[in-house]
Structure 1
Amino acid sequence: MFTQEVPTWFTTALEAIPEHHTIVVDGVVIAYQAWGSTDGDPVVLVHGGAAHAGWWDHIAPNLTARHRIIALHLSGHGESGHRHTYSLSQWASEVMAVAASESSTPPILLGHSLGGLIALTAAADAAHAIRGTLAIDSSITPQSEERWSHLPRINRREATIYPDRATILGRYRTLPEDDATLSYIRDYVAAGSIVQVEGGWRWRFDPAIFETAPWWNPDDLLSIQGDVALLLGRRGAGDSDIADWVQARFGDRIPVSVVEDSGHHVMLDQPLALTEELQKLVARWSEPEPAE
């Protein structure tokens, strides 16, 4: 299956089989998986667009020391149901519903790309209590809207059907591609990105997710009460000046860190570095509030 020698840390992580659950959110079945003790504080991992919860399978088991780690399939993705329309606010509702189904404790949200925008959307909603929010290589500057201008040209309501498994897997690509991507992780997430249907195989996401450009208003960062941080791949997020923009706009309130030798898909390019960053951040955000 894999096209590159697979290290022990990766196979060990995959041996930690998660629990699988479903809930219904606004009439649609949302599937999610969870690792660690149910007594642990909740951490919700939110995947990117056209991805699925399995993108976190090699990361999540290494975050369970004191936490309940939860990775959901957003509606229109993976094992979850589809909707007629999609929006950041709807996806944010799914994230918070899954967190609430697991614990009454305010969660930590860690989201990649589109998932980061969803996590920030949830955190900006005053109705939600959230311990901390991390957006991983999410485009948030005012220029980000331009990145989605191509989407109307790829809108499709009907998924392409491929004749066999080998053909569809041969078409799998990350956008954008990067030379640092580890092929054994790419192969793993690719295998979870397809489903057999009548007449062949298709991608496991609803093409309609692209019908609305998921642009997030960066000024909404000002309304977030909890901790917020950004993590970028060195060659990631289409806005190359994002760190400078955040520093100029928000100062030290929103820390920005960078994973070296990584493109946009940090968990595929530098998974160990990403895991280390997440471990430190989750530990810091989980510390008890100082007594007054």
Structure 2
Amino acid sequence: MLAYPDSPVLDIEGPDWFASALAMEPERGTCEVLGVAIETLTWGERGKPGLLFLHGNGGHAEWWRFIAPFFAADWRVGAISWSGMGRSEWRTDYPPEVHLAELLAGAEATGLFEGPGRPSIVAHSFGSAIALKVAASPDGARFERLIVADNGARPPREDAFENRKPWNNPGYVSLDEGAARFRLRPEQRCDNDYLLAFIARRSLERRDGRWHWCFDPDADRSRGVPFTGHSGEVIAAARCPLDFLWGDRSSLVPDEVMAATRSVAPPGTRFVTLPDAGHHLMLDQPLGFVAAVRALLEPRG
């Protein structure tokens, strides 16, 4: 597993809540899943109710560094980096089964099943595609609920990941040069520059004397299959309660996607729109995202 660079993240200028969240350093560890070390971050005490955060494609567990601390007083909070992303090790290929195993192993390794009741999951984008597959499997009954962040009943992708061109990027001379080139995918407006600066600096690693993005550049060509997991059949088959939280200006969850999702979602599913937020809603409205998640985690009446 690769080490984080010595990058000054605590001196990024931002609001007080941001500095306080970053100051709450997570416990860092790994768990082995099918021969590969998976990065884990945890906050809060063992024995509290479990809460697992799952990031999107090309992201990593550090995307939750300024979100997870808000839950640490009441929850044992865990986050993982999928294999081929963050500081998790890479694989030769990434079939859906390996990511399902990573989710379950990560929840076990971070102690999320040790508290009262069953743990809950908050999953963004690609992470929710994997989480929905778990929810629709027999293991879905092991979880209290799944909050799907900016995803829904979308049809399979038209552009097959297997047809993507190989990544060709020689890296950057300095951390600052690489961070300046950081872009969200899919691209969108984000007004919180301090959050973009944090994510950018934590998304680079030094290899062979240059700075490179911390993900396997060829992984998507074998990882395309899970993106068909947004199908209505998977949502309808969930064995734990579902909630959907999405940005009102998301390019991936337009009105027709959410209408399709409502038509297949199990009875009792809740739907919440986050105002003035795109696909990366935790970057657009971090405190609004926290408030919405906390409300959805309250016991259902």
Q: Please say whether Structure 1 and Structure 2 have the same fold, judged by a TM-score greater than 0.5.
A: yes
Higher deviation after alignment, 206-215 or 46-55? 206-215
Shift of 1:226: 1.0
Partner of 1:111: 123
Partner of 1:185: 195
For the residues of structure 1 that align with 2:215 and 2:188, how far apart are their CA atoms? 22
For the residues of structure 1 that align with 2:14 and 2:112, how far apart are their CA atoms? 35
For the residues of structure 2 that align with 1:151 and 1:189, how far apart are their CA atoms? 25
Partner of 1:133: 146
Partner of 1:94: 102
- Tell me the SS of whatever aligns to 1:225: coil
- Tell me the SS of whatever aligns to 2:244: strand
Q: Indicate the RMSD between aligned Cα atoms, in angstroms.
A: 2.2
Higher deviation after alignment, 68-77 or 162-171? 162-171
Partner of 1:228: 242
Q: Residue 38 of structure 1 is aligned with which of 33, 46, 50?
A: 46
**Which deviations, in whole Å up to 9, do the C-alpha atoms of 1:116-148 show, x marking residues without a partner?**
111111111113411111110124322x523xx
For the residues of structure 2 that align with 1:228 and 1:162, how far apart are their CA atoms? 42
Q: Residue 120 of structure 1 is aligned with which of 132, 148, 158?
A: 132
Shift of 1:237: 4.6
Partner of 1:290: none
For the residues of structure 1 that align with 2:185 and 2:219, how far apart are their CA atoms? 16
Higher deviation after alignment, 211-220 or 35-44? 211-220
Q: Is the 8 A contact 1:113 1:139 kept in 2?
A: no
For the residues of structure 1 that align with 2:247 and 2:93, how far apart are their CA atoms? 30
Higher deviation after alignment, 129-138 or 96-105? 96-105
For the residues of structure 1 that align with 2:90 and 2:153, how far apart are their CA atoms? 26
TM-score scaled by length of structure 1: 0.89
Judged with a 3 Å threshold, the aligned counterparts in structure 2 of structure 1 residues 199 and 153 are, in CA distance, closer, same or farther, namely farther
Q: Residue 257 of structure 1 is aligned with which of 272, 280, 292?
A: 272
Shift of 1:157: 6.0
Matched, 1:55 2:63: yes
Higher deviation after alignment, 85-94 or 197-206? 85-94
Shift of 1:22: 0.9
Aligned length: 283
**Which deviations, in whole Å up to 9, do the C-alpha atoms of 1:228-274 show, x marking residues without a partner?**
11111111152412221122333753222110100110111000000
Higher deviation after alignment, 59-68 or 238-247? 238-247
For the residues of structure 2 that align with 1:140 and 1:123, how far apart are their CA atoms? 15
What does 1:134-173 align with in structure 2 at a 5 Å threshold? 134-142=147-155, 144-146=156-158, 149=159, 151-152=161-162, 154-156=164-166, 160-173=170-183
TM-score scaled by length of structure 2: 0.87
- Tell me the SS of whatever aligns to 1:167: helix
Q: Is the 8 A contact 1:47 1:73 kept in 2?
A: yes
- Tell me the SS of whatever aligns to 2:278: coil
Partner of 2:295: 280
For the residues of structure 1 that align with 2:238 and 2:22, how far apart are their CA atoms? 35
**Which deviations, in whole Å up to 9, do the C-alpha atoms of 1:84-116 show, x marking residues without a partner?**
111333212111111112143532111111011
Q: Is the 8 A contact 1:124 1:220 kept in 2?
A: yes
Runs of 5+ unmatched residues, structure 1: 288-292
Shift of 1:15: 0.8
Instruction: Percent identity, please.
Output: 27
Runs of 5+ unmatched residues, structure 2: 1-7
